[in-house]
A and B are shown apart, each in its own frame.
Chain A
């Protein structure tokens, strides 16, 4: 459905600036709102508006080609430009969409998890985080990327620490995240500094042009590339740099976990796509070598090791967090093989995994909300006590494994196809092995939930106690989206596969 004709004309002129500026302003207002219900309403209304704007911009981009917004009327390369192209538009829609889903879910969840007087600042931090992520994705200026990266990261530390009213370990997790996140961001900014030394510009498109003219540039740009890879690797939880992630995801408030798992690491991955293919270029020797040996290698090792670690977790949220690290491995594999098909598959898996893992974390959070359990051994009989929640969990879990007719299957097959085409047969084997490991950690929970009876407390079987409707709606929207992508209902699969292919084409034609 094309919604662009219903949108006012100014939106296509200023929509890109609107996406970032308005949530930032609203965050400042929300922080001082005395009424916490009003804070929820205004934040949710904002996210709904942002989804509409993001979808409209994406469709406008699809029809009219890329849209460059000149901040303050200054022309690039001197001014800061906001770019909506085939690569950034789907991620914008994803971030805004996940924000709406988690905000709906937040109405009951936040009441249970965040102290009353902290709720308005909590929503303000959420808005800041969202604005930061949008900014990272949309901006065309390399230093601006760093600024927005830090805006989103700093608000994320606060959001993770808000889980402390439930579990005190959230504080230590937030602290560790802060230390590693800041080191990552600082490495990234060192990289940007070296790139500026080499090219004398901060505009990414201009950098790409100059670097291509220099044929990859001197040692300075190699160093810049190394710093950027390591810095972004920390942010996106590339395998050996992922140690902050399980703690941060396990102890944050449930809404934050679902939102971060589906958007924060994805936005950082988007930046990795952007930098390796758009600013740098796989035609440069050092980039090609990094992709083949480092990115593919770490991707595969992460797929296996993180999946294996997930099996040994007793806490379901930690298991899901380790599984996120493993899934990042798939995306890195797609990135590293560096053909149009594989990059498209990696990008496709990025979107699909956001939907799947968002749904899973929402379901796990709802189970905590009703029964206060997160250990997988406590999931006994949940299929009888919370059938709808377990249903959504099951669908998303199947999708995570890659059962046919789910979103996970579509992207894993696309990735395996692309890998086999380039002769990476061993990688196909590892994709299958990692999927088998996923059967263990998802399947164990399902076995406990479906084939054991509900526990007996005080001589009585635990009664059926379904999650609130406001939690079920977003959960089931995500679960059904995953099925719709898998079975191509309403052409969902065509839309998403088409979008990822266009993104891959933009990336791979950038240097040529």
Chain B
């Protein structure tokens, strides 16, 4: 049991980070700390994906013989590679079976997810900046207290944004 966990320690790290992040999001009342927690939570998913793609002793999936020369040769080379991969996939060759390669696809996916995460964090932080401009605080309890009367009444237009409290 313990040995299993140590062999697959990546997953243990992922789970610990994931729970730390989620707990921070839900327990913290500070808007910035919540975003930090969210970032940790998202990062744990990036690690999960990268762990999926990694093969023990795997090489980066880069072909060793670089193609030489102009476009025509390039094309022929690509065709050859595709043929070889197809043969290998059908179980007929040893192109990909001799050397273990790591799967590059999860890494590529995670590049996209990292960009998405950065964008989310940027929007979140800029929202916090605006909230601080309007409410003069980034503590959720204080914000709730400031809006308490309006939330109770359900009225609109408590105060124009940008007006200093």
- Residue ranges of A at the interface with B (Cβ–Cβ < 8 Å): 143, 146-147, 150, 154, 157-158, 161, 164-172, 174-175, 178-179, 182-183, 185-186, 189-190, 193, 196-197, 202, 313-315, 318, 368, 372-375
6 extra interchain contacts, Cβ-Cβ under 8 A, other than A189-B113, A190-B45?
A: A143-B109, A172-B147, A179-B34, A196-B106, A313-B154, A318-B154
| Residues from chain A with Cβ under 8 Å of B116 in the complex | 146-147, 150, 154, 185
Across the two chains, which residue of chain B brings its CB closest to A166? B157
Stretch at the interface among B60-68, B72-80, B92-100, B130-138: B130-138
A/B interface sample: 10 pairs, CB < 8 A: A143-B109, A146-B113, A168-B134, A172-B143, A179-B38, A183-B25, A186-B41, A190-B48, A193-B52, A374-B154
Q: Is the CB of B159 within 8 A of A168?
A: yes
Q: Is the CB of B156 within 8 A of A183?
A: no
Shortest Cβ gap from B122 to chain A (Å):
9
| Residues from chain B with Cβ under 8 Å of A175 in the complex | 31, 124, 127-128, 131
Given A168-B134, A183-B25, A318-B154, answer yes or no on A178-B123 (Cβ-Cβ < 8 Å): yes
Q: Which 4 A-B pairs have the closest CB atoms?
A: A314-B154, A315-B154, A164-B161, A150-B116
B8 at the interface (CB under 8 A from A): no
Q: Is the CB of A161 within 8 A of B130?
A: yes
Point out the residue from B45, B124, B135 that lies within 8 Å of A178, measured CB to CB: B124
B160 at the interface (CB under 8 A from A): yes
Q: Is the CB of B113 within 8 A of A315?
A: no
| Residues from chain A with Cβ under 8 Å of B153 in the complex | 314, 375
Given A161-B130, A189-B45, answer yes or no on A183-B38 (Cβ-Cβ < 8 Å): yes
Q: Is the CB of A182 within 8 A of B131?
A: no
Q: Is the CB of B38 within 8 A of A372?
A: no
Residue of B105, B128, B153 contacting most chain A CB atoms (<10 Å): B105
Shortest Cβ gap from A380 to chain B (Å):
15
Residue of B105, B135, B153, B161 contacting most chain A CB atoms (<10 Å): B161
| Residues from chain B with Cβ under 8 Å of A169 in the complex | 147, 150-151, 158
Q: Which residues of B, 78-115, contact A by the 8 Å Cβ criterion?
A: 105-106, 109, 112-113
| Residues from chain B with Cβ under 8 Å of A166 in the complex | 156-157, 160
A169 vs B143: C-alpha distance when bound (angstroms): 9
Given A146-B113, A178-B124, A189-B113, answer yes or no on A164-B42 (Cβ-Cβ < 8 Å): no
Given A183-B38, A183-B41, A197-B52, answer yes or no on A150-B156 (Cβ-Cβ < 8 Å): no
Shortest Cβ gap from A45 to chain B (Å):
27
Shortest Cβ gap from A44 to chain B (Å):
26
Residue of B105, B113, B150 contacting most chain A CB atoms (<10 Å): B113
B119 at the interface (CB under 8 A from A): yes
B120 at the interface (CB under 8 A from A): yes
A68 vs B155: C-alpha distance when bound (angstroms): 49
Q: Is the CB of A372 within 8 A of B157?
A: yes
Point out the residue from B38, B112, B124 that lies within 8 Å of A147, measured CB to CB: B112
Given A168-B134, A168-B161, A172-B147, answer yes or no on A154-B156 (Cβ-Cβ < 8 Å): no
Given A169-B147, A189-B45, A313-B154, answer yes or no on A178-B161 (Cβ-Cβ < 8 Å): no
Point out the residue from B120, B130, B156 that lies within 8 Å of A164, measured CB to CB: B130
Shortest Cβ gap from A320 to chain B (Å):
13
| Residues from chain A with Cβ under 8 Å of B150 in the complex | 169
| Residues from chain A with Cβ under 8 Å of B45 in the complex | 186, 189-190, 193
Q: Which residues of B, 49-71, contact A by the 8 Å Cβ criterion?
A: 49, 52
